[in-house]
Chain A
Amino acid sequence: MHSLSVRRAAVLGTVALLGFAGAAALGSTPAYAKANSQVSVVHGIPGQPVDVYVNGKKTVPDFQPGKVAGPLSLPAGEYDIALTKPGEAIGSALLKVDNAEVPGDANISLVAHLNAEGRPALTPFVNDTSRVGAGKARLIVRHAAAAPAVDIRAGGEPVFEGVTNGKEGKADVDAGTVSADVVLAGSDTRVLGPADLDLKEGTATVVYAIGSAEDKTLDIVSQTIDGLHSAPGGVPSGDGGRADGNSTLPWYGAGAVGILLALLGLTRLATGRR
């Protein structure tokens, strides 16, 4: 009975991955062999532990909802991904995506979640792992719940508006703690939070809204990607000029006086002898 949604998920997933692959190919990356991609798997389907199969091999056994597995280092290529109930045969998979294309040299989150209609889906997101400025952190919020469009607010102010299932909002902000909540788009009707987000400098914090509004299982899963820091622009640490290294001039002056004196003495010697 899931066949339709599974096929749709497969098509969507493959199309999305192909899109990302195309985008990566058009980017500045050279044509020679690409580095492996880092693939994390995020479990955002409440109440359903699964076994994760990659190319028919059980890769993450008994994967619990709300957990994040990985990153797996995968060479670019096509992968068959399947989720089964723990211990069940791959033939009776809950969710299956064949020939999902993984581009090279990317950081990807593969998210098992409910789509807007409440059916299981597998959605790949490419994570922006470009460097953040010194003192900054990246906040990425992804809608992966069976729920309508939402606004994400920080400190009461909307930062991402009208985010729908399968979409994300992203911003680089000052590192530190912000209080965030999720409301139905354009309203003050809170569906999640408020929660304190500790945005660590030099990292990307990815927050997923998961579950189902109808079943009252909305929840949050988060993932942190570190190592995105930059060095400060400079280290200005003096404006007095007292430490100027150019203090050799007086010594050269004294040396010159010494040489003149010696020459004068030699001249006197020479003239005195005559």
Chain B
Amino acid sequence: MIIRRGALSLVALGVALAVAAGIGACRSQPAADFGAPVATTPPATVKKPTIRDGALPKAGPVDAPARLRIPALDLDATVDAVGIDAKTGDFAVPPSVDRVGWYRYGPGFAADAGSIVVAGHVDSAAEGKGAFFRLGGLKAGDAVTLTGPDGRERKFEVVARERYRKTAVPLDRYFARDGAARLTLITCGGPFDAATRHYRDNVVVTAAAVEEAR
């Protein structure tokens, strides 16, 4: 009897462990992609010949977002205005992992069309986890708030999360300057190659503007 009870509990323990491990394995898989980024094709418009002044173009005001807040990730990060890394031709993501970078050549805070792009580190070897460490965990409907240069806020709502190999990521779509106003958040993800110190993938979250900038 003693042997029998011990054996039974062993079976129960084993089954419980196997089931728990199965659930754990499933849950630790990166969540599946969902949604589709906001349409990028603008409605066809008929252009009338317009007369413009031939004066030299003047630099307009820079409409740089100041902060990015994502309550679901407990994230409230400073946004730096960044451009292109002259050496590589890549997006110049701020080196500090606490900060995220807004692509200053593309649509700005109050843009009424196109993709406002903000990229941030998932992590770095030097500084550990980055602002966008858990970006891939966002779900449809999660709120994202940008704060403008003058403290105004603009609200967005997550509509899509996609993961692409970096060799195949459709950056033209994510950096489009036309189509519906949207916020595109980009970081790294997927398997990490310890030899090259690069992640294989980009994780891209698209959030649609839910109200006009106030």
Of the stretches A84-92, A163-171, A218-226, the one at the interface is: A218-226
**Contact A248-B28, Cβ < 8 Å, known A241-B197, A269-B11:** yes
For B14, give its contact among A245, A248, A258 (CB under 8 Å): A258
- One of B9, B20, B84, B132 near A237 (C-beta < 8 A): B132
A sample of 29 cross-chain residue pairs with beta-carbon separation below 8 angstroms, ordered by A number, consists of A43-B54, A68-B51, A220-B56, A223-B52, A231-B175, A232-B91, A232-B175, A234-B88, A234-B91, A234-B171, A235-B90, A235-B186, A235-B202, A239-B125, A240-B123, A240-B128, A241-B125, A241-B197, A241-B199, A244-B192, A245-B30, A246-B192, A252-B21, A258-B18, A258-B19, A261-B14, A268-B3, A269-B8, A272-B4
Cα–Cα distance between A108 and B165 once the two chains are bound (Å): 39
Instruction: Tell me if B121 counts as interface (CB < 8 A to partner A).
Output: yes
Instruction: Tell me how far the C-beta of A118 lies from the nearest C-beta in chain B, rounded to whole angstroms.
Output: 20
B25 touching A252, Cβ below 8 Å: yes
Name which residue of chain B comes closest to A133, CB basis: B89
B14 close to A259 (CB less than 8 A): yes
**A202 CB within 8 Å of chain B:** yes
For residue A203, give the distance in angstroms from its CB to the closest CB of chain B. Answer: 8
Q: Which of A258, A264, A269 has the most B CB atoms < 10 Å from its CB?
A: A258
Nearest A residue (CB) for B58: A198
Report yes or no: B9 in contact with A67, Cβ–Cβ below 8 A: no
Report whether B125 and A240 are in contact in the complex, using a CB–CB cutoff of 8 Å: yes
Contact with A along B199-211 (1 / 0, CB 8 A): 1001000000000
Q: Would B6 and A268 count as touching, CB distance under 8 A?
A: yes
**A76 at interface by CB-CB < 8 Å:** no
Contact B89 A238 (CB under 8 A): no
Question: How many residues on B have C-beta within 8 angstroms of the other chain's C-beta atoms?
Answer: 80
* Complex contacts, A259 vs chain B, CB 8 Å: 14, 18
Closest to A66 in B: B54
| Interchain CB contact (< 8 A) of A67 among B17, B52, B130 | B52
Binding site for B on A (CB under 8 A): 42-43, 59-60, 63-64, 66-73, 133-135, 174-175, 177, 195-198, 200-202, 205, 207-208, 220-224, 227, 229-248, 251-269, 272-273
B54 touches A68 (CB 8 A): yes
For the complex with contacts A69-B50, A232-B175, 16 further pairs of A-B residues with Cβ separation under 8 Å are: A68-B52, A69-B52, A70-B50, A195-B56, A230-B172, A232-B103, A237-B187, A238-B121, A241-B194, A242-B129, A245-B191, A246-B191, A247-B28, A254-B21, A261-B10, A267-B7
| From A67, A196, A264, contact of B51 by CB (8 A) | A67
| A175-B105, A237-B121, A237-B122 known; A232-B11 Cβ under 8 A | no
Contacts of B177 in A (CB 8 A): 202, 227, 229
CB distance from B203 to the nearest CB of A (A): 9
| B24 / chain A contacts, CB cutoff of 8 Å | 251, 254
For window 40-63 of B, CB contacts with A under 8 Å fall at: 47, 49-59
Name the contact of B189 in the complex, choosing from A43, A232, A243 (C-beta under 8 A): A243
Nearest-neighbor residue (CB-CB) of B6 within chain A: A268
CB-based contact A268/B198 at 8 Å: no
Chain A neighbourhood of B15, CB < 8 A:
258, 262
| B21: A residues at CB distance < 8 A | 251-258
CB under 8 Å from chain A, chain B span 17-41 = 17-22, 24-25, 28-30
Q: In the assembled complex, how far is the CB of residue A172 from the closest CB belonging to chain B, in whole angstroms?
A: 13
Query: Is B49 a contact of A244 with CB atoms below 8 Å?
Result: no
Q: Which residue of B lies closest to A64 (CB)?
A: B51
Q: How far is the CB of A135 from chain B (nearest CB, A)?
A: 3
CA distance A245 to B24 in the complex (A): 13
Q: Is the CB of B197 within 8 A of A234?
A: no
Provide the residues of chain A in CB contact with B119, threshold 8 Å: 235, 237
Contact of A201 among B13, B17, B105, B128 (CB under 8 A): B105
Is B64 close to A, CB under 8 A?
A: no
Contact of B54 among A221, A238, A265 (CB under 8 A): A221
- Within 8 Å by CB of B49, from A72, A247, A252, A263, lies A72
Which residues in B have their C-beta under 8 angstroms from that of A240? 122-125, 127-130
Distance of A195 Cα from B188 Cα, bound (Å): 43
Inter-chain CA distance A197–B58, complex, in Å, is: 7
Of all chain A residues, the one with the shortest Cβ separation from B193 is: A241
B81 at the interface (CB under 8 A from A): no
A142 nearest CB across to chain B (Å):
12
Q: How far is the CA of A241 from the CA of B16 in the complex (A)?
A: 32
Closest B residue to A273 by beta carbon equals B4
